[in-house]
Amino acid sequence: MKINIVWFKRDLRLSDHQPLKNAFSNGLPTLLLYNFEPLLLEDAHYNERHWRFVYQSIVELNNQLARFNTCVYIFNLNMNDLLESLKAQFEIINIFSHQEIG
C-alpha cells in the first residue's frame, strides 16, 4: 500500500502545519508518527518533564484527530530502524516534516 508519512517532532499541533497539509493534499493514506528516539531520550538537555509534555501533547492531538478516525502513532526506535520497518510494510511515497533548526 502506498502511503505518506508525517513525522511530528517539535511541531505538535494541527493548525498551521504545512507538512500535514502537504501530506493530505495528494489523497494517499497518511501515517502520522512521533518517535521517541532513544538517543534523544538519553540526551542531558531533555528531562522527564519535557518528555511528559510531549506525550501529553500527543494525547491531545489524538483527541482532536479521533473525529477523523486517525491518530499519531508513537514509536521508540532509532529513526533509521523505524523507517526500514515501515518500508517493509508500506510503499512510502513521501515523508513530510518540519525542518528543525538549532
- The pair phi, psi for residue 47, each rounded to 5°, is -125, 180
**The 3-state secondary structure of 1-27, one letter per residue:** CEEEEEEECCCCCCCCCHHHHHHHHCC
pLDDT of residue 31: 98
State if pTM tops 0.85.
yes
pLDDT of residue 72: 98
pLDDT of residue 102: 56
Task: Name all domains of the chain by residue range, CATH numbers in brackets.
Answer: 2-96 (3.40.50.620)
Cα angle value 28/38/84 (rounded, 5°): 40
CA gap 84, 27 in Å, rounded: 23
Query: 21-64, pLDDT tens digit by residue?
Result: 999 999 999 999 999 887 766 667 777 888 899 999 999 999 99
